[in-house]
Structure 1
């Protein structure tokens, strides 16, 4: 008796292994990355209030960065803010006061911009892995936002010192003018993100399907 086998029935072959391999980014991931990059661009135009004498306006930009990380997690949050910076670098007017181009990355705000993706990654990591099951509680997300804000402000201080030639004491003094606003923004982000995670409890458990 001759037995025949259907080659497509073998689920252990290399083709099956390839098909079952987790995708790094699904179409949903890509859509979320693009949407939050756009949200950050819109936020950079909102409430651009000059603060201090360093030419660094107070906007909702940092709130969008924190929200992106808190909602999307470390990987997608980092990619979304990285995409936002890339759009500005190639010439789209997505930065505060409708600015763009490479010159922005050498200006007084450069230190803040460079650490935006890192801040999104930090808050995303803390919310996903440290806060974990308590991510529906705004207090815990707020604490994660504070840590990310410290990272962002340290980058800003380095930028002020390097670009404007200020001493460290003066750089910290200039940066201090933005802390109250960013703390308030962090609190608002925490409330919003907690509600998002309450409504979509599996948002950070990224799907492996397209």
Structure 2
């Protein structure tokens, strides 16, 4: 293998690692009694994937996660799997993961990194994720916008804020480490 292929292989390994972390984050799911949408940590790892891997490799990581779930591997929240999950009440959140990681990576990847830019990327990515999730929830359950927001957005705001703060703080330490691991020429 040539030296020029080494960084590509390393970023692929990190993309697969993030796929695994997203799956683990889905297993760490906490049902809310009044909502079909559980609290999960998968979205936290999607945020980090977008920040660390960028739009294309972050999307590849999430795309692999979605593909494995569509094939029937129990990788979605609570160990669910299959195409039916995409058409159920939480399907919009799954599609939102892909859109969110892409937007986070796109915004964070432009120009010099900064806490403000990373924070904006995380906020915009989460707003996209939740807007897709709540819209799908409304359509799947045939409920009002207010009810869909009450079930699929409002209970998650405190956790979303905490995840954004933690991701923005972690990225400052993780980004230089990842870049050195990818470009290491040993």
Q: TM-score range by the shorter chain?
A: 0.7 to 0.9
**TM superposition outliers: structure 1 runs of 4+ over 6 Å:** none
Aligned to 1:13: none
Look up the match of 2:99.
118
Preserved contact between residue 107 and residue 117 of structure 2 (Cα < 8 Å): no
| Distance across 2 between alignment mates of 1:37 and 1:57 | 19
Of 144, 156, 168, 1:190 maps to: 168
Q: 1:68 aligns with which of 33, 43, 49?
A: 49
1:171 to 116, 128, 148: 148
1:56 equivalent in structure 2: 37
1:35 paired with 2:35, answer: no
Q: Equivalents in 2 of 1:71, 1:160: separation in Å?
A: 29
Alignment match of 1:134 (pick from 87, 102, 113): 113
Deviation by residue 1:21-57 (Cα, 9 ceiling, x = unmatched):
x98x9222321221111110011112x2222523111
Offset at residue 143 of structure 1 (A): 2.3
- CA distance in 2: counterparts of 1:69 and 1:31, whole angstroms: 15
> In 2 relative to 1, CA 31–199 (structure 1 residues): closer, same or farther, beyond 3 Å?
closer
Structure 1: runs of 5+ lacking an equivalent: 1-18
Which SS does the other structure have where 1:49 is aligned?
coil
- Name the larger-Rg structure: 1
The answer for the alignment partner of 1:161 in structure 2 is: 138
- Ranges in structure 2 where 5+ consecutive residues have no aligned partner: none
1:181 aligned residue: 159
Q: Alpha carbon RMSD of aligned pairs, Å? A: 2.3
